[in-house]
């Protein structure tokens, strides 16, 4: 029983459970976005809110191509919503977090010729002027 308890309390299992719960909630939000906002917008532009009634028949077999069109529109809408509202903002946040602070300078300008020299240099390599040690 102790091994099972240790397995359940490992970070991977808890992280996965949290991810599933958040994924289900996000799925509901994205579905509502598509059904309540994007689909009516498409219906306003095209004039047909639901393509499920579009069919054709061959030898008593009914082909529901309208339902297929609905599913394709829903898939593309969900994919676009996830990309625009989840993936793109997360990539932006990760890129901002990964920015490295500027490195400490290793050179300084020579006070005589203004060429770049090492911070610890005692003489300029370009104009050979002696430099004060700081």
Question: What is the pTM for the complete model shown?
Answer: 0.50
Instruction: Write down the pLDDT at residue 81.
Output: 80
What is the token pair recorded at 97? 């977090």
Each residue's pLDDT tens digit, 100-127: 777 778 888 998 899 998 888 888 888 9
- For residue 122, what are the contacts with CB-CB under 8 A and spacing of at least 6? 130, 131, 133
Cβ neighbours, 10 Å, residue 86: 13
Tracing tokens 């009914």 back to the chain, one arrives at 62
- Quote the percentage of the chain above a pLDDT of 70: 94
Measure the CA–CA gap between 1 and 7, rounded to whole angstroms: 10
Tracing tokens 């976005």 back to the chain, one arrives at 33
**Domains parsed from the chain with CATH numbers:** 2-98 (1.10.1200.120), 103-134 (no CATH)
The whole-number average pLDDT for the span 7-30 is 79
Q: Please, are residues 101 and 50 in contact by the beta-carbon 8 Å criterion? A: no
Residue 86 pLDDT > 70: yes
């Amino acid at each position: 029983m102790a091994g099972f308890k240790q397995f359940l309390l490992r970070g991977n299992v808890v992280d996965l459970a949290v991810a599933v719960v958040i994924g289900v909630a996000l799925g509901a939000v994205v579905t509502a976005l598509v059904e309540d906002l994007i689909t009516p917008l498409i219906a306003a532009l095209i004039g047909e809110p639901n393509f499920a009634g579009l069919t054709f028949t061959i030898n008593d077999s009914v082909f529901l191509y309208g339902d297929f069109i609905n599913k394709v529109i829903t898939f593309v809408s969900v994919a676009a919503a996830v990309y625009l509202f989840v993936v793109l903002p997360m990539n932006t946040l990760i890129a901002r977090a990964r920015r490295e602070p500027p490195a400490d300078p290793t050179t300084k300008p020579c006070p005589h010729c203004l060429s770049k020299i090492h911070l610890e240099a005692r003489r300029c390599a370009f104009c050979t002027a002696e430099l004060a040690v700081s």
